[in-house]
């Protein structure tokens, strides 16, 4: 080899025997690093594959493959009878000092700016610990998982696969699923729908985000109750809307406060969880329901009705949705099977007037070409054969029993330190702790003992801090609930 510099550079290339990356790619990466560092200039001739192999103590074929890889990527040029050269098309740059592992290291920080200030950290993840008083999740052990598996598998084994799954389909969802869901919602919630009124989405959050993208413009006013669901509120802010909070009392959102806002400025949308307000679980009283609909008709704002746990009401039959009494198409109704089965199953739906669904479907294509039509069809089968209805009746009895047990134990063991009302429905108890109790500290100590519970930060607002959290009871057995309360008691006492 004529150049002692090249000989030195190639002799100092280090290869890792324990690296899962093939040796020829390690050689290619090392040469590429030398090019990027400016040590190998454009137009420079490289050692022959035979000479390089001797320096690297490798098989000549390995070096040839490395050269071929870099040539294919455009870093090298090879000329018959002349040899291999650094491509003349690479801009020459000043030598840079790169970490010798730079090409193999995963990037932690981007080279461009990322504004994360408007987006929250993921505070809804429940760590994998033995015990959990979560945000109100169902017990997946009760869900008809086997039936869903059989229905899903059947969709993939029946005839006509290309017709069903060989190409893209409608972005609003499977026609079979929408027909089944329409019948189910009309029967259970007194809605007046056809398949054209339904859009299948991957859960409530996607439904909120889609509505914000499609119907909310920068500067639009969106109103919701305080405290509320901050995930929804972050979607309003992401859409550059002006979010205004109104009070929530024991009868739900204070609709009179909404009316005062409407008299002063144009309201585009009101987000509400009337069946069981999130996070406090109170139900919106009938007079306020009717007044909310009247105001929507008078002032022309959208009502986004998030009915996340309609199926679980214990005191009496569930209150029918606002959408069932909507005569003028002011309500967009959102529901989710994720809250009934398991959060892992992303199955939700939007119900609205046909022209709204058509518009939302067109906007949805920009984000998600279509949902999982195989899962949609499997769910349709479970709706049509009554599996879902039987499961919900069974789960309702189990959850009511767990609610009663949990509330009795909570009062008996922590009475005087906590304040709560027995919820009429849902899967959580909105629990206010004595001001002397540091919920952040309690949460950390409980986690160390194998119990997850929220620190309540997601329910705090400027001027509002009830030192309260949602304690979910539905996903735990009675034994687990007793153990969880015992841990809290020992930590607080």
pLDDT for position 21: 86
Mean pLDDT of the chain: 88
Q: Are residues 179 and 92 in the same domain?
A: no
Query: Which domain-ending residue is among 358, 385, 412?
Result: 385
390 falls within a domain? no
For residue 454, give its domain range: 131-137+398-492
Confidence of residue 99 (pLDDT cuts 50, 70, 90): low
Same domain, 197 and 75: no
pTM of the model: 0.79
| pLDDT over threshold 70, residue 26 | yes
pLDDT at 69 over 60: yes
Same domain, 370 and 284: yes
Q: Is residue 393 part of a domain?
A: no
Q: Which residue has the higher pLDDT, 347 or 22?
A: 22
Kindly report the CATH number assigned to the domain that includes residue 211.
3.40.640.10
Q: What is the CATH number of the domain that holds 31?
A: 1.10.10.10
Residue 174 within any structural domain of the chain = yes
Q: What is the 3-state secondary structure (H, E, C) of the chain?
A: CCCHHHHHHHHCCCCCCCCCCCHHHHHHHHHHHHHHCCCCCCCCECCCHHHHHHHHCCCHHHHHHHHHHHHHHCCEEEECCCEEEECCCCCCCCCCCCCCCHHHCCCCCCCCCCCCCCCCCCCCCCCCCCEEECCCCCCCCCCCHHHHHHHHHHHHHCCCHHHHHCCCCCCCCCHHHHHHHHHHHHHHHCCCCCHHHEEEECCHHHHHHHHHHHHCCCCCEEEEEECCCHHHHHHHHHCCCEEEEEEEECCEECHHHHHHHHHHCCCCEEEECCCCCCCCCCCCCHHHHHHHHHHHHHHCCEEEEECCCCCCECCCCCCCCHHHHCCCCCEEEEEECCCCCCCCCCCEEEECCHHHHHHHHHHHCCCCCCCCHHHHHHHHHHHHCCHHHHHHHHHHHHHHHHHHHHHHHHHHHHECCEECCCCCECCEEEEEECCCCCHHHHHHHHHHCCEEECCCHHHCECCECCCEEEEECCCCCHHHHHHHHHHHHHHHC
pLDDT score at 482: 96
Residue-wise pLDDT tens digits, 345-370: 788 899 999 999 999 999 998 887 77
Answer yes or no: is pLDDT of 81 > 90. no
Do both 22 and 166 map to the same domain? no
At 229-238, the pLDDT tens digits run 999 999 999 9
Q: Is 5 a residue whose pLDDT tops 60?
A: yes
Residue scoring higher pLDDT (170 or 381): 381
79 shares its domain with 17: yes
């Amino acid at each position: 080899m004529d150049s002692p510099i090249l000989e030195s550079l190639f002799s100092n290339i280090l290869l890792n025997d324990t690296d899962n990356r093939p040796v020829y790619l390690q050689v290619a990466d090392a040469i590429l690093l030398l090019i990027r560092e400016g040590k190998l200039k454009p137009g420079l001739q490289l050692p022959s594959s035979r000479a390089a192999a001797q320096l690297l103590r490798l098989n000549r074929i390995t070096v040839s493959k490395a050269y071929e890889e870099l040539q294919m990527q455009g870093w090298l040029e090879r000329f018959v009878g002349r040899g291999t050269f650094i491509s003349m098309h690479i801009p020459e740059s000043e030598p840079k000092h790169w970490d010798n592992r730079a090409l193999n290291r995963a990037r932690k920080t981007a080279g461009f700016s990322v504004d994360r200030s408007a987006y929250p950290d993921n505070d809804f993840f429940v760590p994998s610990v033995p015990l959990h008083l979560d945000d109100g999740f169902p017990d997946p052990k009760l869900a008809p998982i086997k039936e869903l598996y059989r229905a899903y598998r059947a969709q993939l084994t029946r005839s006509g696969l290309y017709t069903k799954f060989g190409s893209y389909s409608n972005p609003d969802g499977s026609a079979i699923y929408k027909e089944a869901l329409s019948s189910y919602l009309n029967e259970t919630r007194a809605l007046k729908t056809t398949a054209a009124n339904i859009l299948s989405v991957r859960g409530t959050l996607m439904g909120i985000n889609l509505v914000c993208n499609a119907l909310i413009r920068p500067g639009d006013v969106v109103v919701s109750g305080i405290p509320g669901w901050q995930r929804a509120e972050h979607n309003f802010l992401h859409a550059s809307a002006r979010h205004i909070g109104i009070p929530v009392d024991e009868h739900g959102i204070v609709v009179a406060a909404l009316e005062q806002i409407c008299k002063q400025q144009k309201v585009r949308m009101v987000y509400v969880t009337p069946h069981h307000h999130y996070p406090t679980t109170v139900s919106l009283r009938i007079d306020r329901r009717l007044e909310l609909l009247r105001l929507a008709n008078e002032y022309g704002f959208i009502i986004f009705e998030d009915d996340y746990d309609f199926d679980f009401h214990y005191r009496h039959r569930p209150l029918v949705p606002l959408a069932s009494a909507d005569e003028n198409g002011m309500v967009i109704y959102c529901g989710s099977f994720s809250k009934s089965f398991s959060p892992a199953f992303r199955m939700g739906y939007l119900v609205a007037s046909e022209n709204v669904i058509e518009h939302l479907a067109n906007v949805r294509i920009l984000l998600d070409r279509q949902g999982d039509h195989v899962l949609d069809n499997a769910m349709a089968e479970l709706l049509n054969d009554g599996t879902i209805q039987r499961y919900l009746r069974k789960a309702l009895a189990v959850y009511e029993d767990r609610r009663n047990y949990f509330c009795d134990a909570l009062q008996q063991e922590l009475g005087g330190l906590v304040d709560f009302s027995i919820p009429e429905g849902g899967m959580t108890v909105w629990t206010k702790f004595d001001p002397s109790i540091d919920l952040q500290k309690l949460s950390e100590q409980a986690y160390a003992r194998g119990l997850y519970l929220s620190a309540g930060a997601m329910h705090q607002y400027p001027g509002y801090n009830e030192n309260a959290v949602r304690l979910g009871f539905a996903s735990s057995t009675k034994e687990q609930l007793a153990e969880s309360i015992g841990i809290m008691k020992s930590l607080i006492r």
